[in-house]
Amino acid sequence: MEPIRVGLLDFGLRHSKLNSLRVIEDLIDYAGHADQLGFSRFWIAEHHIPQTRSAWSNPQALVPLLAGMTQRIKVGVAGVLLSLHAPYHVATSFKLLANLFPGRIDLGVANGVVSETVAQYSIQQSNQALRGLFDDKLAELVHYLHDEDELYQDGKGVVIPPYKGVIPAVWTLGVSYGSLNRALTLKTNFARSIFHYGSDVSYEKEKLQAFREEYYQRHKVQPQITLAVAGCCHQTSQKAKRIINALNKKTSVGRGELFGSPAKFHDEVMALRERYGIDEVIFMSAAMQPTDRIVGLELISDIFKLNAN
């Protein structure tokens, strides 16, 4: 059995004493530690939240900064709220990044909900209209990344630079297996969250295996699949539980499905591996204090022997 891989997801949530720019400083430090400790990915989320200490809304600008400050870890967005963006511009940005940082850029796309104000400001349409845009825009994005000769039209069309360059790893995100067909049809990877509110937490391991088999038959490659979880790993389960409870009092993000001492955290992750049939988890830490976050990284890296993978 392959060693399980552990990546990280960051929403920019930190304790109230950090202003937005200090949060970004902490984000860079956090990513640097994750890189050194053998974590597989470092993903940042797109959220448009009217809070004065929000560190970012569109995280695309942070991707080259994080990739440039690290060496091994894959860096990406999970996910771009594609209904708010022009697929052409997303393709041009991420393809260039994929060639500046070969093999290290992930492009996750999500069909997320925003406020009416954000919908009007971004695309001058209602929030309800966004839902109807996602599938067409995702197909456009994949077209721009894959169909270079068709786009070029012998010099009469368009080039997404660099011509004939590598493309980023594209991920379809979802809170259930309802998005598997998108991933299968468009040849994307798949990430499923079981910590977002409204997530379907049923295992359906057989459905995922059938997806893998059909994906390989159709595309002759194996899809990358990961499971997003949230919680806290600390030196004791009591400390981890206190951190989870403190976050739950302040925000609706991060329900702490996983928490505990390193041994307990390890056992819970391995149980998820068996139940869901996955070989990688993406972990969002509930710890709001930078020191607690780093402690969690070190304990997780050690218990899973991430630097040995």
Residue 13 tokens read as 């949530």
Helices (H), the chain: 20-36, 63-68, 87-100, 116-123, 127-131, 134-146, 148-152, 180-186, 205-219, 237-250, 262-276, 290-304
Q: Mind listing the pLDDT tens digit for each residue in 211-233? A: 999 999 999 999 999 999 999 99
pLDDT on residue 251: 53
- Average pLDDT taken over every residue of the chain: 93
Q: How far apart are CA 85 and CA 27, in angstroms?
A: 24
pLDDT on residue 309: 65
Sequence-distant (6+) residues with CB within 8 A of 156 are: none
Domains of the chain: 5-308 (3.20.20.30)
Longest dimension (CA), the chain: 64
Please list the ranges in the chain whose pLDDT falls under 70.
Answer: 248-256, 309
